[in-house]
Structure 1
Amino acid sequence: MPRPLAAFSYDYTRVEQVVADHLPQWRQLGFDAIVAVARGGLAPALVASTALDLPLYAVSYDRRHRSVSWFTAQTPPTGTHILLIEDIAGRGTTLSDSIQFLSSAGYRLHVFALAYDAQSRIRPDSGIEIPAGFRAWFPWERESITPAYYATGNLPDRPAETYASWAIDLDGILLPDVPTQAYASNLAAALSQRDGLVPNTTLPGRELRELPIITGRPEQDRTRTQGWLDLHGFRGPLIMRDEARYTAAQTAEHKAQAIIAGCHTHYIESELAQAVEIASRVPVARVYWWNGQTALSIYASLASELSPLMPQLGHSSAPPNIAEPA
């Protein structure tokens, strides 16, 4: 099975910001209308049409038959200067066939894509070139990053959610957390206590036995951790933290990087602070905080309008560390 590239995340905040960055240029070009390639182009096209106060239309593309048709009942007048918007200028034919369809109908085009790279079939007139080795990851195609979806050649034959890839935290999910102070006061006793714990009686409502486990436990604990998992019938791959990465921020970073590297679309975390930190680092993934009884979906995005004024006050500009150790 071919393996997807690493994820280059576009949450809705990033989509809005990318479009906003292009508005000054677009205002100078005198467009008459916006045309989105449905469905991926609809979100950025809606933002652009609202900001530019232009009518919004859309075309639809059938990948299997390489056919383009109008998605909207109304169409722009022939000769209209169009801003054509798509989410990605990829290696396929969606954008090239859409350009041909519109050009043949007499429209003048400026092409924008949220993402393209050196391998793209079409290089848009404007857009964002993503780094080599990455694949654009959008919230409206969250599951497209997984190996199972990738193997379909972008032609899935099942509902998108069936291609999702879940992963879970360990402590606080499968078994109770041992208090942090217990490790500090007597490490050996705390580890022995943890090894003797049984799985929680209340678990998240999914089949957890085969799910990958991304834990903040250090790699040096692998043998005893794997022993506990084997004893209680949990067979998913175990991803552990490098011992050198021990701070709260490094633990959250470890988990976020493991989510991206594993192309996971959903992750269940037991610590609220870490759930927020992970969600801010992997904005397209669905991150859940499990409090032992219920789950809350967590979304976190940097609020630039509240960036601290510390530099002017002579303090550090580093953001506060809100994560707690696993």
Structure 2
Amino acid sequence: MNPVRSAYPYDYSRVEIAIAEYLPQWRSLQFDAVVAIARGGMVPGLMASMGLSLPLYALSYSRADRCVSWYTNQKPGAPSRILLVEDIAGRGTTLSDSLAFLQQLGHDTKVFTLAYDTDSRIRPDYGQEIPAGMRAWFPWEQASISAAFDQTGNQPAKPEHEYASWAIDLDGILLMDLPEHLYAQALQDTLAQRDLLLPNKTLPGLSLTDITIITGRPEQDRERTQAWLSRHGFHGPLIMRNESLYSAEQTAAHKAQAILARCHTHFLESDAGQALEIARQTRVARVIWWSGHQALLVHASQVEDLRLA
């Protein structure tokens, strides 16, 4: 079994930046065409072809018989200088077989992938080596990061969205979130009061019995938190904040890192400010703010200069 690896997210901004970095060099090489491997290479392939003002073609790959064929009706004339584009140089044979296919047709081919790592079958000519213990996560493969999708061996029997992995916040989702000033005034009395609360009458329309809970509550509260959850029928994994790593003010960072480390594709958060910060840090995860009765998908990107926003 492969070791668990944290998600290294590529949102569309990161993809665009990665391609823009190479455009001056690629222009000097005078490529004749860009060839993308469908499906993962289509988005970066389109961006590269537009940036280079070159025609875009695409290849199709069948994993069952390792057959490479043209995905597009048109194809570049041989011999051509080709930039072959894929999202990741993986452990499989897709990229290596596609490269061999083009070379056998007489094309002078260079390879660009958004990501590769030490386990990649081939090292691309251009691309980013992602940190050890990480795995690339792209927005066009939103659910493929999950453990359930991993178990398919990249040959899913169901639509990919059905492999999504959900996690939720605790306070404000499953039970009422008590005002912060009460904890400051009388911590133990407030914790005892919280222990007696019943689950909220209005709960998200998800299967909650075994769902993962990622909470900002500190690890020292595990016993009483687990007791409340078990008492009310919630038996999923419980991820709590390690105070040696994250202060209370860093709760959003704790949740974001837990989402990436556990490869969750969706997260439901009750605090709007935290939802925005979690979305900014996780980039590709679907972060939903739960107001108590409705769910709103949020997206956040850092603005460097307000005057240009």
TM-score by length of 1: 0.90
Corresponding residue SS for 2:280: helix
Gaps of 5+ in 2: none
Contact between 2:216 and 2:248, CA under 8 Å: does it hold in 1? no
Contact between 2:57 and 2:76, CA under 8 Å: does it hold in 1? yes
TM-fit CA distance, 1:302: 2.5
* Aligned positions of 1:276-287 closer than 5 A: 276-287=276-287
Contact between 1:4 and 1:145, CA under 8 Å: does it hold in 2? no
Distance 1:137 1:274 in 2: 22
1:68 corresponds to: 68
Letter in 2 for 1:235: H
Distance 1:282 1:94 in 2: 28
1:324 corresponds to: none
Q: Give deviations 1:8-49, integer Å, cap 9, x for gaps.
A: 111111001100111111111101111100100011111111
Contact between 2:61 and 2:94, CA under 8 Å: does it hold in 1? yes
Letter in 2 for 1:246: S
Contact between 1:7 and 1:134, CA under 8 Å: does it hold in 2? yes
Corresponding residue SS for 2:144: helix
1:121 corresponds to: 121
Q: Give deviations 1:206-239, integer Å, cap 9, x for gaps.
A: 1111101000011111111111111111111111
Contact between 1:3 and 1:147, CA under 8 Å: does it hold in 2? no
TM-fit CA distance, 1:262: 1.4
Contact between 2:265 and 2:285, CA under 8 Å: does it hold in 1? yes
TM-fit CA distance, 1:137: 1.0
* Aligned positions of 1:1-326 closer than 5 A: 2-244=2-244, 245-248=246-249, 250-306=250-306
TM-fit CA distance, 1:192: 1.9
Letter in 2 for 1:301: S
TM-fit CA distance, 1:57: 0.9
Letter in 1 for 2:247: Y
Taking structure 1 as reference, are residues 241 and 94 closer, same or farther at Cα in structure 2, changes over 3 Å only? same
The worse-fitting range, judged by mean Cα deviation, of 183-192 and 41-50 is: 183-192
Gaps of 5+ in 1: 309-326
Contact between 1:3 and 1:150, CA under 8 Å: does it hold in 2? no
Distance 2:29 2:162 in 1: 43
TM-fit CA distance, 1:247: 3.3
Corresponding residue SS for 1:65: coil
Corresponding residue SS for 1:143: coil
1:319 corresponds to: none
TM-fit CA distance, 1:2: 4.2
Distance 1:45 1:170 in 2: 41
The worse-fitting range, judged by mean Cα deviation, of 64-73 and 185-194 is: 185-194
Corresponding residue SS for 2:223: helix
TM-fit CA distance, 1:301: 2.2
Contact between 1:115 and 1:130, CA under 8 Å: does it hold in 2? yes
Distance 2:254 2:120 in 1: 31
Contact between 1:2 and 1:151, CA under 8 Å: does it hold in 2? no
Letter in 1 for 2:145: I
Contact between 2:68 and 2:97, CA under 8 Å: does it hold in 1? yes
Distance 1:108 1:189 in 2: 73
Distance 2:224 2:299 in 1: 33
Letter in 1 for 2:82: I
CA RMSD of aligned residues (A): 1.6
1:323 corresponds to: none
TM-fit CA distance, 1:243: 2.9
Contact between 1:31 and 1:81, CA under 8 Å: does it hold in 2? yes
TM-fit CA distance, 1:246: 2.3
Task: Give the ranges of 4+ consecutive aligned residues of structure 1 lying more than 6 Å apart after TM superposition.
Answer: none
TM-fit CA distance, 1:144: 2.0
TM-fit CA distance, 1:94: 0.3
Corresponding residue SS for 1:145: coil
Percent of pairs identical after alignment? 60
TM-fit CA distance, 1:264: 0.9
Contact between 2:8 and 2:260, CA under 8 Å: does it hold in 1? no
Q: Give deviations 1:177-211, integer Å, cap 9, x for gaps.
A: 10111112222222122111111111111111110
Letter in 1 for 2:81: H
TM-fit CA distance, 1:3: 4.5
Corresponding residue SS for 1:183: helix
How many residue pairs match? The answer is 307
